[in-house]
Amino acid sequence: MPLDIKSSVEGTTGRLKLAGELDGASAPAVRTEVEKMLTNKLDRLVLLVEELSFMASAGLRIIIFAKQRQPQLKIYVVKPQEPIVETLKKTGFYDAVYVQDSEPGEAAAQ
């Protein structure tokens, strides 16, 4: 299933909506998009992944990449499906991001 990527930046918040499968083949496009977003000074990166059914290691490494580029960046993973939550947990990424059911409010960026 191809990956659909939609991105936007509002103020200091970057939003990336991913739908489909984030595998090794589609990861470079996501990374390019994240790189583009990180040219702005962001406080938070919101990954809207409700419709993302699969995330390979390449996808998880994009989270690390974003963290390395901007260590203060808060990364929110919104509405991940169960297999993605499990992978995040087992590989230790779960503690590096905020996993939640809805987009963070303005206060979360403080």
Partner 1 sequence: MMEPRIDYYPTHEYQGFKFRRGHTLPFGATVVPSGVNFSLFSSAATGCTLVLFRKHEEEPMVEIEFPQEFRIGDVYSMIVFDLDVEELEYGYRMDGPWNPSAGHRFDRTKVLCDPYARVVGGRDIWREEPDWEKRQHHRGRLAFNDFDWEHDRPLEIPTEDLVIYETHVRGFTAHPSSGVSAPGTYAGIREKIPYLKELGVNCIELLPIFEFDEWENSRKHPDTGEWLLNYWGYSTLGFFAPKAGFAATGRFGMQVDELKTLIKELHQAGIEVMLDVVFNHTAEGDHRGPVISYRGLDNKTYYILTPDGWYYNFSGCGNTLNCNHPVVRNMVLDCLRYWAAEYHVDGFRFDLASILGRDQNGAPLSNPPLLESLAYDPVLSKCKLIAEAWDAGGLYQVGSFPAYGRWAEWNGKYRDSTRKFLKGDTGHVGEIATRIQGSPDLYYYRGPTASVNFITCHDGFTLRDLFSYNYKHNEANGENNNDGSNDNESWNCGWEGESTDPAVNHMRAQMMKNAICLLMVSRGIPMLLMGDEFGRTQHGNNNAYCHDDELGWMDWALAQDNPELLRFTREMVRFRHQHPVLRSKSFFEHRDRVGSGYPDISFHGTQAYWPDFSPGSRCLAFRLDGAHAGSPDSSIYVAMNMYWDGLPYQLPPAGDGKSWKIAVNTSMPSPHDIYSTSEAPFLQDQSSAIVGPRSMMVLVADSQ
Give the residues lining the site for partner 1 (CB under 8 A).
24-25, 27-28, 56-58, 60-61, 64-65, 67-68, 86-87, 89-93, 96
Beta carbons of 6 and 16 less than 8 angstroms apart = yes
Distance of closest approach, residue 37 Cβ to partner 1, in angstroms: 19
CA distance linking residue 92 with residue 88, whole number of Å: 6
CA distance linking residue 81 with residue 85, whole number of Å: 6
Q: Is 101 helix (H, G, I), strand (E, B) or coil?
A: coil
Distance of closest approach, residue 84 Cβ to partner 1, in angstroms: 10
CA angle 74, 31, 47 (to 5 degrees): 40
Of 13 and 87, the one with the shorter C-beta distance to partner 1 is 87
Distance of closest approach, residue 54 Cβ to partner 1, in angstroms: 9
Q: Count each helix (H run) and each strand (E run) in the chain, helices first.
A: 3, 5
Of 14 and 59, the one with the shorter C-beta distance to partner 1 is 59
Distance of closest approach, residue 2 Cβ to partner 1, in angstroms: 16
Of 92 and 105, the one with the shorter C-beta distance to partner 1 is 92
